Structures are given as structure tokens and as C-alpha cells.
Amino acid sequence: MKYRLITLVLVILTFVPLAAAQQAPGADFDEYVNKAMKDWGVPGVAIAIVKDDRVVFAKGYGVRDLNKPEPVDEHTLFAIGSSSKAFTAALVAMLVDDNKLKWDDPVTKYLPSFQLFDPYSTRELTITDLLSHRSGLTRGDLLWYASAYDRDEVLRRVRYLKPSWSFRSRFGYQNIMFLAAGQLIPSITGKSWDDFVRERIFVPLGMRSTSTSIKALSNSTDVASPHAKLEDKVQVVAWRNIDNIAPAGSINSNVEDMAQWLRLQLGGGVYQNQRLLSSGAVKEMHTPQTIIRLEGTQTTLYPAAHFLSYGMGWFLSDYQGRKLIEHGGAIDGMRAEVAMMPEEKVGAVILTNLGGTILPQALMFKIFDFYLNSPQRDWSAEMLKATKSLEEQAKAAEKKSEAERVQGTTPSLPLEKYAGTFQSEMYGETKVTLENAKLVIRFGPNFTGELQHWNYDTFRAVWRDPMQGKGFVSFRLNPQGRVESVNIENISDFTRVPEPAGPTSVVPMNETELKKFVGKYALATPPLEISIELIGGVLKANVPGQPLYSLTPVGANRFRLEGAPAGFFAQFEMLDGKPKSLTLVQGERPSIVLLPKT
């Protein structure tokens, strides 16, 4: 009898959380969510709500994959994108609690090689600056999104990103600064960001399904597929590996696990009577650090707000007289929202498998209206209307661009003349090749596309990865009519790398063969005289005002100038065994032809 009683109690305890998790925010909530999903074209949504330190609702809607029947539930894994930033801020706060660093410490104290474009900003940038989007830098996201660089290399190359605003003068969303904040952890603890967040947050909160890389998803069978609206049709797209920017946005989780994260935040750093963060640290993260102007798209995302700011890893605003703390997340084919109102002890997490949608924001307001007993607004319809208006504006801009295209032009050069290797200090290398009579451009692992002529020396790249769409690629010619650089729209300018002008392997020559090149060569305008001399069995070029160059034979009448930039050669034209002229080949710069001086 006693055994049966214990069994009954265990059964009751097992089912209590499930029963509590189905306290929907309104009798029509399921109907509302299903209609909103249909209106927005979202395949799947998962929602969890925390109230008074209890998970009162956790449920999935729709399907994980548009082409498969498996439903979304509270265990389905999604990418949470930039909602990961609050985890990085919390890890740094734990180091502050451990007296390992201070909020106002300079970043270079822990990352000595860290460098920004501006020396003053490099010296003055603090830990708080990293976490509050006030570095003065524009995003520069293609440094990580479009490259195969690891975290250290991404951080090294940010020194080439020029500031867009004065340091600390305004809000500028910056993923790479959160990467820098994450890289503080191995510098101080000797552990990777991934291991530290697992040890200090995931494990204590029981977030067993949560990971920091898409590589871990192969261990789960309940995973949502990313979707995107391409050519007005919702399609499945590939998961994007963003391990190289992980502290800014690589966490994958489900609403069941994320609800525990909300409990920690709403509990002021306490979870199940265990303090993981000091109350002071939580308060600091939830305190405004940077003002954000309510303009542009912000008015769509925060239609009821009077003020907007950023704390550390959290957006802060007002809603119906309450403090709203939240952060969205977006990566290829996924959109997330994690939000809470501490005064009401309520929070919600909404995960979706369609990129580019702000449905999670609309559902957040719908949920909070219920708990505030506010008049119900159809946030989904209102925000969808605003979104469609923005989409129409984008389509109109594209049509305008098409209409303004100059017709009837042809490229200035034969297509093969545009081919070559181009270099950017920040982004690295891009290559243009001629393949099957078409130009193809390659930049990093994600951007490869055919170039379609647009007008003059501008082409339109049709990227093979459908998520990247199309973009303009413009070539710039130098005064000599040669391609000297290329601009990839929304990425960067790339300067052409000089190609070796001819063979560079050394050709053996004896002194008798070398003597025939000895002599003085002159150019009338501008006046220039070069003396070719044989010294110690080696030809030397004596150029006024320059060091003495050694000439290494790489052909019968061609010599490489040692010590000169790549692509510099001396080319002799011979007539009856004697030099007729000397051409100085200067890479991409114009060649100079000198005649023997008699």
C-alpha cells in the first residue's frame, strides 16, 4: 500500500509541470497563433511562458519542416541567433562576480593583441563597451558570415574596419564586439566560450538540449529546419554554421530549456534557490548603457515604446508602463524572441523556423497584453501590414534600379581582362575567373556567383547560394585601361593583385651571355637614364635615386628585378645580337621603354 502511494505521488508530480505548462494566455490563443502562422507563412513556432518562477505554458505549433509531417513541440530545437548575446554578457558578469575582471577594465588588459582602426578607441574600449554596442563601428558582419576565418582571425581583422561614428557617440549594433567579449573567457579562464557557457549556465539550469554549434544537432531527432521566403515562396534552406562568431549568436535551444534561462533572469540571478549571478550583476545588465533613437524600423518593432536603449545583451524599453527587457535573434531561416517584464514576474520565449519574420515580436506583445489585462490588439495583423509595406518599398526600389539601368552598353574590355585575384586587408581574397565564356566571382565559402553584365563596367552577381540573392559588382579601370579594383556591393573594395609577368624560374647564363646587355639606356621624356652593369658575374641596374637592383635571368632576354615589387621585370628586345630597347615592366603600372644610349 505504501509503495502504491509513493508511486501515485510520483505520477502526480510528473504530470504537474505538464498541466501547468498548458495555461494558455487566453482562450483563443491557439487559434490566434495558428492564424498568425498562416498569415505570415511560418511553418513552425514554439512558445514557452514563465510566470511567478513557474513554466505555465510550453507548446509547439506547425511543423519542423515544410516538406515533412513531424510537428513542432516544446522540445524542438531552433537557432536562437542574437538572443545568445545575453548569455555572453552573463558569463562576463560571472567573471566580474569572481573578481577576475571589472566592467570598466580596458579590453587590451586581457586581449593584448586586440586592435581597432582608431588607436584612441583601442586604448579606451572597456568591457562594458563591448557589450553595449557603442564602439563606433558599423557591423562588418561579412568578415565572419562570408569567410572561413576562425574566431581569432575575425578578431584580428576587425582592426581594418573603419569607424562609422565617433566612439561612444551612438548605438551601432556590432556582433564582432560580442565575439571579443566571448574571447575574454579563454584569455582569463583557459576554457573556451563554449565550455564555459555549458559549465556555468547550461548545466546548472538543466538545459540539456542546448548547444553552441550546429555540429551538435546530429545528436537530436527533434530539430526544426530553417526556412526562407525566396522569390515569394517559403523554402527549406541550409543551417548556417556560425561557430566563428559564436558568442554573438550561435546557441541552439528549445523553449523548454530557454524557459529555465528566463527563470534565472526573472529571479535576479537565482535559480531553484541557487545563486548563479549576483543581483548587482543582473541589475547592471538590465540597466540602460546606450540610448537608441526610436526611428526607422525601430518604430515597427517597438510601436508602443516611448524610450529605447541597450543594456548589456538586452534591449530595454517601456511597454504599458512596465519595463520590457528582451532580445531577438535572427540567422538564416530562423527567428527568435526572448522577453520579460520583471515587475510582473512574467517572461516569454518564441522560436520560429522562418527567417525575416517579426511574428515572434507580435506574439510577445499578444502574450504580455494578456498578463497586463490590457485591451487586446491584433499585433500580428498590425505588424504584418507594416512588414508588407516595407516589402513593397523594397520591390519598388528594385524596379526603380531596373528602370535606371543604362541600356545598350557593353563592357570596356574583353571579359578575360576582368579576371584576376583581388585583395582586401579586412576581408581577404576574392577571385574573378572566366568559365565557359562567363565571368564567375568567388568570395569566401558562401559567395560564388555568375556575373551578368549590367552596364558599362558593372555586373550583377547572381549568387549560387539562394540566401544571398543578387548584388552588384563594379570594376574600376586605371588611366591605362586596365582593371585595378573591384567593388562587391555591401562588402568592400578589393585591389587587384599584380600577376607575375611571364616565367619566374631562373635561367642559367654565363658572363659572356650577360655582357651583351651591359650599357646605358635612356628615355627622352621625362629624362631618365639607367645603367646596366656586370658586377661580380651579376647584372646590376643602376637607377638614379634608387638602390642597386640585381637582375636575375628568367628568360633569354628577360630579367627579374630583385628588391623591386612583384611583377617588375627588365625585358630586352634584341636585333642582330644587340639590345634594340629595354622595357621596364612595372606590374599593373605602365611599362617604360628605354633606348640604348650611343
Query: Do residue 340 and residue 477 come from a single domain?
Result: no
CATH, residue 274: 3.40.710.10
Residue 502 located in a structural domain: no
Query: Do residue 117 and residue 159 come from a single domain?
Result: yes
Which residues share a beta bridge with 493? 487
Residue 74 located in a structural domain: yes
CATH, residue 463: 2.40.128.600
**Domain containing 575: what range?**
511-596
Q: Which helix (H) or strand (E) holds 62?
A: strand 54-62
Q: Kindly tell me the sign of the dihedral angle through the C-alpha atoms of 505, 508, 513, 517.
A: positive
Residue 5 located in a structural domain: no
Q: Which residue has the cell 507548446?
A: 59
Residues whose CB falls within 8 Å of the CB of residue 296, separated by 6 or more in sequence, listed in order: none
Query: Do residue 488 and residue 568 come from a single domain?
Result: no
Query: Do residue 298 and residue 263 come from a single domain?
Result: yes
Query: Do residue 249 and residue 170 come from a single domain?
Result: yes
Residues whose CB falls within 8 Å of the CB of residue 259, separated by 6 or more in sequence, listed in order: 48, 49, 50, 55, 58, 349
Q: What is the 3-state secondary structure (H, E, C) of 9-26?
A: HHHHHHHHHHHHCECCCC
Report the mean per-residue pLDDT for the chain.
92
Helix, strand or coil, per DSSP, at residue 317: strand
Residue 579 has pLDDT above 70, yes or no: yes
Q: Which of 468, 497, 495, 432 is nearest to 142 (CA)?
A: 468
Q: How confident is the model at residue 503 (pLDDT cuts 50, 70, 90)?
A: low
Provide the 8-state DSSP code for 200. I
Backbone φ and ψ of 210, nearest 5°? -85, 140
CATH, residue 517: 2.40.128
Beta strands in 297-405 (DSSP E): 308-310, 315-319, 322-331, 334-341, 346-352
> How far apart (Å, rounded) are the C-alpha atoms in residues 409 and 93?
59
Query: Do residue 47 and residue 178 come from a single domain?
Result: yes
Query: Do residue 363 and residue 420 come from a single domain?
Result: no
> How far apart (Å, rounded) are the C-alpha atoms in residues 595 and 224?
73
pLDDT value of residue 7 = 34
Residue 49 has pLDDT above 60, yes or no: yes
Query: Do residue 457 and residue 374 come from a single domain?
Result: no
Q: Which residue has the cell 519542416?
A: 65
Query: Do residue 350 and residue 489 come from a single domain?
Result: no
Q: What is the 3-state secondary structure (H, E, C) of 383-452?
A: HHHHHHHHHHHHHHHHHHHHHCCCCCCCCCCCHHHHCEEEEECCCEEEEEEEECCEEEEEECCCEEEEEE
Q: CA-CA distances (angstroms) from residue 235 to 35, 79, 222, 466, 583?
A: 20, 17, 19, 10, 58
Residue 505 located in a structural domain: no
Residue 275 located in a structural domain: yes
Residue 9 located in a structural domain: no
> How far apart (Å, rounded) are the C-alpha atoms in residues 163 and 165?
6
Single residue among 496, 523, 557 that ends a domain in this structure:
496
Single residue among 496, 531, 565 that ends a domain in this structure:
496
Residue 530 located in a structural domain: yes
Q: Which of 85, 276, 289, 72 is nearest to 175 (CA)?
A: 85
Single residue among 394, 424, 443 that ends a domain in this structure:
394
Provide the 8-state DSSP code for 199. I
Average pLDDT in the 506-524 region? Answer: 92
Percent of the chain residues topping a pLDDT of 70: 95
Residue 504 located in a structural domain: no
Per-residue exposure over 358-371, b if at least 16 CB sit within 10 Å of its own CB, e if not: bbbbbbbbbbbbbb
Backbone φ and ψ of 444, nearest 5°? 65, -175
Structural domain tally of the chain?
A: 3
Residue 440 has pLDDT above 90, yes or no: yes
Residue 8 has pLDDT above 70, yes or no: no
Q: CA-CA distances (angstroms) from residue 301 to 227, 294, 308, 317, 357?
A: 21, 10, 11, 11, 11
**CB 316: neighbour CB atoms within 10 A?**
22
Q: How confident is the model at residue 502 (pLDDT cuts 50, 70, 90)?
A: low
Write out the three cell numbers for 118.
582608431
| Per-residue pLDDT tens digits for 371-417 | 999 998 999 999 999 999 988 998 898 889 889 999 999 999 999 99
* H helices, E strands: number in the chain: 17, 30
Query: Do residue 94 and residue 191 come from a single domain?
Result: yes
pTM strictly above 0.75: yes
Which residues share a beta bridge with 595? 522
Q: Which of 60, 52, 53 is nearest to 22 (CA)?
A: 60
Query: Do residue 384 and residue 519 come from a single domain?
Result: no
Query: Do residue 443 and residue 563 come from a single domain?
Result: no
| Per-residue pLDDT tens digits for 141-198 | 999 999 999 999 999 999 999 999 999 999 999 999 999 999 999 999 999 999 999 9
Q: CA-CA distances (angstroms) from residue 95 to 88, 130, 343, 447, 540?
A: 11, 15, 27, 38, 62
> How far apart (Å, rounded) are the C-alpha atoms in residues 541 and 548?
6
